[in-house]
A and B are shown apart, each in its own frame.
Chain A
């Protein structure tokens, strides 16, 4: 397919200012349910990049009672958690962070970022709530409410250090090494990073820069495609209860159709769920519509890991993606040995035949009655 001339591309606008204060150091990292499940490399890469940057951060505790837990985000947005329970689960995490000597929280998950931010906002909005939660937390766990100085997402931290990474650490650039062409990268910022509290994101909901800033610093070309801000459709009860998943698939299709005319080389994400569904639903969409988009999807840490020259299979985990990443590696000039992708000879179940019972509802969801 002929590429759209570069001059016709609507590049993303830089926000006039990024009002967000991102601390330089001193982070308690809260882990993510979804990242750890489907793209485990993505989460481990956060820790590897923090170490590479020499940051003071932590997660592990020697006390058996002080492990990190889920923020309860899916349970909260899946509507089976009282909000006061959410406040307490998060307050416990803040207490663990303080116990380990960290004054800032960095969340691996964007829904965790929104959940922690929601708790902070509620303490501002509801007089007396801090005292109540402190009392409940003490009754429940013997802990005290200790509000952190900053709550940021791990993509905020990478954003802060994007130029440092580019200047001192990256071995590769977002450039087609065969032609010198900057790669076209479309961003998809997680809704719970920029829409729940836009003022807590880098650049706000409409012109969020947390990913496009990385793309520019790392040599790529941004594209402001029309449905850039549309949700991926993950939902919570939508993606986790199978009969509801047609909504997810339809949202992914809307985004793919919107970005396709710009012939993107890559979709870049900062949300665990978006990274899963923008990638994985492409197979079902191909099966049900006959249209193969084949646009690879990476999280910001996976992209950083690849550009740092870390092993695509042992460190980044590209084999976990549905749309193969190897063609992107060829463009960038990253070497790989495709025979190392899999560790066993085990074949997966025969998925194609299992799609049959799903076909009718999925076709309906895509408007293919």
Chain B
């Protein structure tokens, strides 16, 4: 049996030999291993676990187990049924889609306001509304397989100007969700990035109770932030503590390591909302797509987060 330390550097193939119970127990043990310091309890392994193949494998197993439990929560069952439905059905039944769109004057003010439409030549939120209102399944599937579905920056600049008070940001978000449930996102390089998103902001939420973990903002990963930021990053923990934050430590402000009891409550909220059906589908779609292009799943993860 490999040691706990060895798990941290192993990939999916090696970790398949480890039982679910051993994998999850090891992860939780490492995560909650605290060290008393003058500034309180510090958790050195939080950063070591973040973003590893070990964490992705642990998440994959946990989600799989929870999705296949005998009596799933109501919304988990709802989303599991919804993924077998059509796009038109989704528009008529998904809570966000139902409230997002009323009618359209085709005035184009949404597009005139849209920063993404200015940047991406082939992007136009008005045409997305047009496709949704057409209720044409073929056009909807084509949209859900396209790159343009992923261009919206979710800023909502369009919403205050729409004479019909449509929520195009919400409509697009809802359609993106369905695209992933169906696996249509695999046809788009932008859509495939969602597998990285699941294991970046999704994993942060699931494992650290925050969508953005402070160690995600590395200087190496953000060369556009410049040398002064790199200087700051080199001493980020000390600077955070200096300002009153609590990086990877017990506390209540920036960078805190959340209590296991709080994390358990948050996870049940995520699960009861039905989110794990999407995460399970993203995993299955990614596995199948990786195999079809001859990549191991860890190689696939690296590919989708760096191409676009």
Contact = CB atoms under 8 A, between A and B. Distances in A.
B75 A77 contact: no
A195 B153 CA distance: 13
Chain B CB within 10 A, most for which of A75, A92, A250: A75
Contact of B234 (A44, A77, A143, A344): A344
Chain A at the B interface: SS class = helix
Nearest to B173: A79
Nearest to A245: B224
Interface stretch (B19-27, B252-260, B286-294): B252-260
Interface stretch (B35-43, B44-52, B133-141, B262-270): B262-270
Contacts of B190: 244
Nearest to B176: A79
B238 A343 contact: yes
Contacts of B305: 241-242
A43 B272 contact: no
Which interface residue of A72, A79, A86 has the most chain B CB atoms within 10 A?
Answer: A79
B227 A351 contact: yes
B224 A235 contact: no
Contact of A320 (B153, B221, B239): B239
B264 A78 contact: no
Contact of A237 (B193, B253, B270): B193
Interface in A59-90: 59-60, 63-70, 72-89
A324 B282 CA distance: 43
Majority-rule SS of B interface residues: helix
Range class of the B interface residue count: 35 or more
Interface string A208-245: 00000000000000000000011101111110111111
Contacts of B269: 85, 88-89, 91-92, 137, 140-141
Given A88-B269, A319-B239, A322-B228, A240 B197 contact: yes
Contact of B219 (A44, A76, A136, A351): A351
B243 A315 contact: yes
A186 interface: no
Nearest to B265: A141
Nearest to A250: B119
Contacts of A254: 115, 118
A35 B77 CA distance: 36
Contact of A81 (B232, B234, B270, B307): B270
A4 interface: no
Given A40-B244, A82-B274, A280-B226, A348 B211 contact: no
Contacts, number: 338
Interface stretch (A6-14, A170-178, A330-338, A352-360): A352-360
A321 B155 CA distance: 24
A70 B206 CA distance: 11
A36 B254 contact: yes
Contacts of A50: none
Please indicate which of the listed interface residues B196, B210, B244 has the most CB atoms of chain A within 10 Å of its own CB: B210
Nearest to A320: B232
B177 A79 contact: yes
Most buried by A among B190, B252, B260: B252
Contacts of A91: 269
A233 B115 contact: yes
A204 B209 CA distance: 32
A1 interface: no
Nearest to B214: A37
Nearest to A85: B273
A166 B305 CA distance: 47
A283 interface: yes
B254 A251 contact: no
Nearest to B235: A344
Given A75-B201, A140-B269, A70 B95 contact: no
Contacts of B264: 65
B127 to A, nearest CB: 19
Interface in B230-257: 230-235, 238-240, 242-245, 252-256
A322 B229 contact: yes
Given A37-B213, A65-B265, A349-B220, A86 B273 contact: yes
B217 interface: yes
B69 interface: no
Contacts of B5: none
Interface in A15-63: 31-38, 40-41, 43-44, 47-48, 59-60, 63
A245 B256 CA distance: 27
B15 interface: no
Given A41-B243, A241-B197, A354-B220, A36 B255 contact: yes
A79 B194 contact: yes
A204 B153 CA distance: 21
A284 B176 CA distance: 31
B115 A85 contact: no
B188 interface: no
A251 B119 contact: yes
Interface of A: 31-38, 40-41, 43-44, 47-48, 59-60, 63-70, 72-89, 91-92, 114, 122, 125-126, 129, 132, 136-137, 139-141, 143, 191-192, 194-196, 198, 204-206, 229-231, 233-238, 240-245, 247, 249-251, 254, 280-281, 283-284, 287, 313-315, 317, 319-322, 324, 342-344, 346-352, 354-355, 358, 362, 365
Interface of B: 73-75, 79, 95-96, 99, 115-116, 118-120, 150-151, 153-157, 159-160, 169, 173-174, 176-177, 180, 190, 193-194, 196-198, 200-202, 204-205, 209-214, 216-217, 219-235, 238-240, 242-245, 252-256, 258-266, 268-275, 277-279, 282, 305-308
10 contacts: A40-B240, A78-B211, A79-B173, A141-B265, A233-B153, A243-B308, A247-B119, A280-B222, A283-B227, A322-B229
Q: 6 nearest interchain CB pairs?
A: A36-B254, A85-B273, A348-B230, A283-B226, A243-B308, A74-B211
